[in-house]
Amino acid sequence: MAKPNLYKGSIHTILLKLLGDEGRMYGYEITQKVKEISNGDLLITEGALYPALHKLEADGLLQVEVEKVDGRLRKYYKLTEDGAKESVQKLSELEAYLETMQNLLQPKLI
């Protein structure tokens, strides 16, 4: 792993969370939003993003609405009901993971 943009396994969770917060977003918007939130630390590559969105859609967790804005195509994604449930699930897993990591990082108490 030369310069990973994000720890693997978290992209689906990030997408579900963002779409839950924002209501609906399109792919390019997501890349910019994540870059902004992370102050440039987390760069979601398009090669990871689009397959992830397609997978979540195929799994029935996302719903897509295509729109043309300023002559360009946009694919807006939003959570389905199942997506909202899965989001809760994934977020609690991520929180457990983050807590574990914090426990690992904490200076050892002897």
When binding is defined by CB under 7 A, the residue of 17, 20, 48, 63 that contacts DNA is 48
> Whole-angstrom Cα distance, residue 55 to residue 41?
25
CB of 73 to a copy of itself, least distance (A): 27
Of 22 and 46, which CB lies nearer to a copy of itself in the complex structure? 22
Q: Does the protein bind DNA through residue 46 (CB under 7 A)?
A: yes
Please enumerate in sequence order all residues whose Cβ is within 8 A of that of 39, keeping only pairs 6 or more positions apart, or say none.
none
Q: Does the protein bind DNA through residue 51 (CB under 7 A)?
A: yes
> Whole-angstrom Cα distance, residue 95 to residue 75?
29
